[in-house]
Structure 1
Amino acid sequence: MRNINRYIMRQLAVPMLFIAFSLTGVIWLSQALKFVEQLINGLPVTTFLYLSLLLLPDILRYTLLLGLFFGTLFAFNKLYSDSELIVMWAAGLSKSALARPAIYLALIVTLIMYILGFILVPFGNRTVSEMRVAWQDSLAAVVLREGVFNTLTNDVTVYIREKTPAGEMLGILVHDERVPEKPVTYMAERGAFVKTDEGPRFIMNAGNLQEVSKKNAKLSLLYFDQYALDISQFEKKSGARWLSPDHRYVWELINPEDSERVQQEKPKLLSELNQRLVLPLYAVALVFIALAGVMGGEFARRGRGRQMGIAAAAGVLVLIGGMALFRVTSQPMLVYPLMYLLPIAAGAIGAYFAGGGRLRFLENRLDNDAVASGDAG
């Protein structure tokens, strides 16, 4: 029996992982494109890859469900079409025994999804958000582009010829027109951004300062070995940030801080908490629906295409219904019980049909088709 369980689990794992990773790759690529602009603007490749990988846990929560569901349908239909299930039934194995490997796999996926939802997803979302804010707020995100004129503000333009791996900039030009009557142009051989106690500074070395007085058309030229340009006024001030529900760990959803914003957003916090608790339950529910499509009813030589089509549609509709309930934050006393009832009821109905329950209207239709085919012959 153990050998059969391992064999069926291998048959299930291959299509499940293929579907899950294929969907994950497509979605991950579309999400990673959000960081391409920052990559062009000077974001290190390693940071780009790290940010992209942090998106995976949130994507995997849904692709694992779809992979498990359609992988189960595919694997059991293949076993059925190859008559392997028929041989196992004839050998005395019950439907519940044959379904056990799929249920084991569903429980493993459920556990993985709880780990993703409780720890990895909020960690990834929070880290991505913090790094994006830090990058957007950093002046280096603007001026570190090489070979182009970068607009710091409407009145300040910066040009960098080259940037070294150590972060030093070569061939610097800064044109400052914040005082329209006396525009200033800074030129330096090299420079770098530094953080000081007084704020960020742009340190330029071996250069000159050119100031033009438009009033009397006079040019003032000053050579310097080192010049510190105060750029604190350009740096964005993020201030305290509100942690959105999908950025919070479970314990932060259960016991949030006491603030006016929390009271306003409490329905969203509760909805996010219930979503993380409920979503993994769909793994078992979807497996039972898939099993009902392949193992429900009696053996049919012409295959189970219609039953599988109904099971696939039912599984997708159940998942769509669950996603819709997750988005509803009004009338929580009605919605939250439905969140839990839907996967439990869907799983129970699927288990009933997978264990031998019958769809009378479907069987009658199949019998009529068989009779019609016989008469035609």
Structure 2
Amino acid sequence: MLFITFSLTGVIWLSQSLKFVEKLINGLPVSTFLYLSLLLLPEILRYTLLLGLFFGTLFAFNKLYSDSELIVMWAAGLSKSALAKPAIYLALIIALIMYFLGFLLVPYGNRTVTELRVAWQDSLAAVVLREGVFNSLAAGVTVYVREKTSTGEMLGILVHDERVPEKPVTYMAERGAFVKTEEGPRFVMHVGNLQEVSKDDAKLSLLYFDQYTLDISQFEKKSGARWLSPEHRYIWELINPEDSERVQQEARKLNAELHQRIVLPFYAVALVFIALAGVMGGEFSRRGRSRRMTVAAAAGVLLLISAMALFRATAQPALVTTALYLLPVLISFAAAYLASGRQLWFLDNKIAPDNLANGEPG
């Protein structure tokens, strides 16, 4: 289970982390990149844990069956329910972990990633300028930096501002750096000149300076209050959202997200029962159970696909919500019935005396 979970998580995590690679190349600190990437893990683990649990259980019990160890344990007096208990207990533990992920870690990760990305994009004090490339600071404002030192100082600076087409301005400086002040971010340039061209009379104004401070707070994007989307909300924010017009408009999505977080861990138990049914259901055969294993694997994957479809469905909320809760429960009962040899074995943990006398598994 751990091998499958970590393998799937690693592949998905790498693909999701690619969205931050460009920012890493542009100068995003490695520590920040790793932090942002780790914040994606809870959302990924919610689904890879389910797949890891399902295929891990299927593999482990099939291995026991193929090596005749299940037959030996049945002959020694262990019932199917006794053999299945470890897998069921593990499913319950995974369900609890998924509740912890869904209620706390997933919304925390989604919210933090969004906040950091917005802060990174909106704050020009932390803007990343690539060396040897014309960087767009804002609409009509272009910055070129020849070289950046390890201390954050920039060498060979050119800033071209053509927001006023009639009077474009060009700043050139030998060195400079971004500086945070109480009034906002500033771009301090040393030893350079300012060139302003008046296109009306074709006149060039030239100003030489030893130090010039450019106010770049005017280029910053002013972020207002952001709407918290359903996946960014904690469980209590979904149960009792704020009273606003936007909440009324998005009420269906908020309810769908709430039900998804509550019901998704149920599928851990349902998938384990499907795996047990694929291995322990029916009569013993020395030819193996490749067909039953294939059917069980397909049934587990189909169950997850059906769950994903129900999570996305919004046409008839009442019916969809009912189906969302009934599906894992009904599948669990049906799979348990098949795994028991067509009896509800979880209600009887003992082997019938007649079965023991005949050497048959209970």
Output the CA distance in 2 between the equivalents of 1:73 and 1:182: 72
Counterpart among 275, 295, 304 of residue 310 in structure 1: 295
Moved more, 323-332 or 47-56: 323-332
The answer to whether structure 1 residue 130 and structure 2 residue 115 are counterparts is: yes
CA shift, 1:54, in A, is 0.6
Q: Which position in structure 2 is the counterpart of 1:60?
A: 45
Counterpart among 229, 232, 251 of residue 214 in structure 2: 229
Q: Which position in structure 1 is the counterpart of 2:144?
A: 159
Output the CA distance in 1 between the equivalents of 2:252 and 2:315: 7
Output the CA distance in 1 between the equivalents of 2:299 and 2:128: 53
Scaled by the length of structure 1, what TM-score is found? 0.86
Paired residues of 2:4 and 2:51 also in contact (CA < 8 A): yes
Counterpart among 352, 355, 359 of residue 340 in structure 2: 355
Between Structure 1 and Structure 2, how many residues are aligned?
343
Output the CA distance in 1 between the equivalents of 2:280 and 2:242: 50
Moved more, 218-227 or 305-314: 218-227
The answer to whether structure 1 residue 254 and structure 2 residue 239 are counterparts is: yes
Q: Which amino acid aligns with 1:349?
A: A
Output the CA distance in 1 between the equivalents of 2:258 and 2:151: 44
Aligned sequence identity (%): 82
Paired residues of 1:38 and 1:141 also in contact (CA < 8 A): no
Q: Which amino acid aligns with 1:325?
A: L
Paired residues of 1:143 and 1:158 also in contact (CA < 8 A): no
Q: Which position in structure 2 is the counterpart of 1:171?
A: 156
CA shift, 1:299, in A, is 0.9
Partner secondary structure for residue 160 of structure 1? strand
CA shift, 1:332, in A, is 2.1
Counterpart among 31, 37, 53 of residue 46 in structure 1: 31
Q: Which position in structure 2 is the counterpart of 1:9?
A: none
Q: Which position in structure 2 is the counterpart of 1:284?
A: 269
Moved more, 235-244 or 158-167: 158-167
Output the CA distance in 2 between the equivalents of 1:179 and 1:332: 53
The answer to whether structure 1 residue 267 and structure 2 residue 216 are counterparts is: no
Q: Which amino acid aligns with 1:256?
A: P
CA shift, 1:197, in A, is 4.1
CA shift, 1:152, in A, is 2.4
Paired residues of 1:54 and 1:124 also in contact (CA < 8 A): yes
Higher RCO structure, 1 or 2 (CA under 8 Å, sep 6+): 2
Q: Which amino acid aligns with 2:305?
A: I
Paired residues of 1:181 and 1:213 also in contact (CA < 8 A): yes
CA shift, 1:155, in A, is 2.7
Contiguous gaps of at least 5 residues in structure 1: 1-15, 359-377
Paired residues of 1:253 and 1:269 also in contact (CA < 8 A): yes
Q: Which amino acid aligns with 2:24?
A: L
Paired residues of 2:125 and 2:180 also in contact (CA < 8 A): no
Q: Which amino acid aligns with 1:61?
A: R
Q: Which position in structure 2 is the counterpart of 1:209?
A: 194
Q: Which amino acid aligns with 2:91?
A: A
Residues 261-315 of structure 1: CA distance to partner in whole angstroms, max 9, x if unpaired?
0011011111101100100111111001100000011211111112112211211
Higher helix share: 1
Output the CA distance in 1 between the equivalents of 2:298 and 2:9: 21
Partner secondary structure for residue 229 of structure 1? strand
Scaled by the length of structure 2, what TM-score is found? 0.90
Output the CA distance in 1 between the equivalents of 2:194 and 2:38: 45
Residues 325-348 of structure 1: CA distance to partner in whole angstroms, max 9, x if unpaired?
111233222121211111111111
Paired residues of 1:73 and 1:294 also in contact (CA < 8 A): yes
Output the CA distance in 2 between the equivalents of 1:355 and 1:306: 18
Q: Which amino acid aligns with 2:80?
A: K
CA shift, 1:141, in A, is 6.2
Output the CA distance in 2 between the equivalents of 1:310 and 1:40: 46
Residues 66-105 of structure 1 correspond to what in structure 2 (within 5 A)? 66-105=51-90
Counterpart among 20, 24, 44 of residue 5 in structure 2: 20
Moved more, 120-129 or 186-195: 186-195
Partner secondary structure for residue 318 of structure 1? helix
The answer to whether structure 1 residue 190 and structure 2 residue 175 are counterparts is: yes
Residues 125-177 of structure 1: CA distance to partner in whole angstroms, max 9, x if unpaired?
00111111111212356552122111224532111122234433222111222
Output the CA distance in 1 between the equivalents of 2:304 and 2:13: 21
The answer to whether structure 1 residue 31 and structure 2 residue 3 are counterparts is: no
Output the CA distance in 1 between the equivalents of 2:245 and 2:270: 39
